[in-house]
Amino acid sequence: MYTDEILKIALSAIIGCLVGLEREIRRKPAGFRTLALICVGATIFTICSYKLGLTDNRDRIAANIITGVGFLGAGVIFRNGASVSGITTAATIWIAAALGMLIGIGEYMLALLGLGISLFILYALQFIQNLIDTKFQHRDYTVTYKGDCDATNFKAHIATLKLKTHYFKETRQDHQTTFEFDITGKEIELDVFNDWLKGEEKVYSFRW
């Protein structure tokens, strides 16, 4: 009697697990169980929308699914200073719900196409992103010197490593000089910069 609905729910569980597997491997807040539940939930709500028999207001449940998923996505986004994490996980929650809704209305081919594109973005494009990150990395540094330090010489040494600084800030307190700045460059050059900081006797501490 409910063969079609059971098939939809089972398929949405499988697709949700496949989408969430990449997040699970990377130890992100929303793993494959969470995304499977979101995908299944979206499918069940979509099935409810036409089981209720309201032909004119079926989109109201779909709109509320999107609203609910928005709250879930917002819960995994965290801000730490100038950096923001969890946006990809939030987007994955969003796409899992969208795939569940497609399955709920019986658009299996569109759901499989969306799954394929989503997996390509999560897996294949990660390799490209890692390649770009090794070429163009962005880091926020805080370097503290014992006593006074000439900022001009410090910037000059950074320039010799083919690195670029942005938003450079200098503060002095209790016989210490602190530099705060953003820096961009290749990963290997940034590693050389870290080694230079470790070898400097006047460097009290640094972090990035």
For the cut 70, the answer to whether the pLDDT of residue 55 exceeds it is: no
Integer-rounded Cα radius of gyration of the chain: 25
Q: Sorting pLDDT into bands at 50, 70 and 90, what band is 154?
A: confident
- What integer pLDDT is reported at residue 152 of this predicted model? 86
- Percentage with pLDDT > 70 across the chain: 94
- For residue 144, what pLDDT is reported? 92
| Domain locations along the chain | 3-133, 137-207
Under the banding of pLDDT at 50, 70 and 90, the label for residue 101 is very high
Taking 60 as the threshold, does the pLDDT of residue 15 lie above it?
A: yes
- In whole angstroms, how far apart are CA 198 and each of 33, 90, 192, 201, 205? 43, 38, 10, 8, 9
Tell me the average pLDDT across 119-128: 84
Q: What is the pLDDT of residue 6?
A: 92
Return the CATH number of the domain spanning residue range 137-207: 3.30.70.260
Q: Taking 80 as the threshold, does the pLDDT of residue 134 lie above it?
A: no
For 96, half-sphere exposure in the C-beta direction (CA atoms, 13 angstrom radius) is: 36
Q: Is the pTM of this model over 0.75?
A: no
- pLDDT of 62 > 90? The answer is no
Instruction: Name 204's bridge partners.
Output: none
Q: State which amino acid sits at residue 8.
A: K
Is the confidence at residue 48, as pLDDT, over 60?
A: yes
Strands in 203-207's sheet, in edge-to-edge order, are 164-173, 176-185, 137-146, 203-207
